A and B are shown apart, each in its own frame.
Chain A
């Protein structure tokens, strides 16, 4: 059972470069989310999508963009990476407002 698949697992990126983190789910959940997790801080919501074709901004959206062309895929793009975007990124999905199912995370280092 795959659930949510994220890629890549880890990446080192030069500042100023662009990067897309991929997220695919096979549970047919309507809602999907991107979070970043930094030491000492709670999970912070970057962007979300309540259903295919719609997206919304979370708590920390600046420097990130998302798209939701279909139910299964929810990629996160960093247009021009900066060192403060060094973090662990988690994609998650849920049915409506219920329990979140998380991917295994993508560890991104921006130098």
Chain B
């Protein structure tokens, strides 16, 4: 079983629509990161959240860390074709000194 569950697994939307991707766990994390990965490339870090309830914004992307630090969400406003890619969350846990990645959400934004 995955330590971090991401949903949905796949998302295909039209340009201009809004979307939310979820990252859930039964474990508590000291930090949670979101990455975007494009085909043929390694993941690129978008944000790190460390405080329960924390909200960070990066242009049209809004990231939230759950109050209990077990879950996170990524909301994209007015999606654009350039947002297409694999979105990965990764948690750094208190009891394991490394990052665990979720299985990812594959987003396709159609023009």
Is B a genuine binding partner of A?
Answer: no
